[in-house]
Amino acid sequence: MRANEQIRRLKEVPLFAGLTVAELREVRRMATELEFPATAHIVEQGASASDFYLLLSGEAAVIESGRLKRHTLVPGDYFGEMSVIDGGPRTATIMALSPVVVLRLDSDTFDQLIATHSSISRKMLVGMAQRLRVSERSMSH
């Protein structure tokens, strides 16, 4: 997949939505593209988590407590956006249903990104605060 398409998909992730194209290019440059065969577990429920994943191609299943969820992940879907920040345990297993290509940003790289690019970290914090406000409003109504 071409870098421009990967950048467009990164822009659709709420965590990165406020970033400029140049900042998104930097995120893309620091991320790693990985491939998984069908039936491979990309992440395991309960495992300590530290990576963000953006699905570039293929389909993946979400499995919680051994049960397959109805939602199938498709290109453009993502997971681990909170784990890359707080390292909390995985809440589900993600299993490739077909050959899958992902863009992965691990926590060390993420930490380096926000430490060296203060504009990126500020914009991500603003985006997370906005999402939290929306979530709080929906819970109070």
Query: For residue 98, is it within any domain?
Result: yes
Tokens of 15: 């965590």
| 3-28 residues labelled b (16+ CB within 10 A) or e (exposed) | eeebbebbbebebbbbbeeebbbbbb
Domain assignment present for residue 114? The answer is no
pLDDT at 141: 62
DSSP 33-90: EEEE-TT-EEE-TTSB--EEEEEEES-EEEEETTEEEEEEE-TT-EE-TTHHHH-PBP
Q: What is the mean pLDDT of the chain?
A: 86
On the question of pLDDT at 57 being above 90, the answer is: yes
Dihedral angle computed from the Cα positions of residues 40, 7, 31 and 48, in that order, rounded to the nearest 10 degrees: -50
Global pTM reads 0.82
Asked, for residue 15, whether it belongs to a domain, the answer is yes
Q: How confident is the model at residue 28 (pLDDT cuts 50, 70, 90)?
A: very high
Beta bridge partner(s), residue 71: none
Residue 88 lies in a domain: yes
Could you tell me the residue range of the domain that residue 103 belongs to?
Answer: 3-107+119-136
The pLDDT tens digits of the residues spanning 78-132 come to 888 777 777 788 888 999 999 999 999 888 888 888 888 777 777 777 777 776 7
Higher pLDDT among residues 40 and 134, named by residue: 40
Q: What is the pLDDT of residue 1?
A: 65
Considering the domain boundaries, does residue 37 fall inside one? yes
Which CATH number goes with the domain that contains 55? 2.60.120.10
% of the chain with per-residue pLDDT over 70: 97
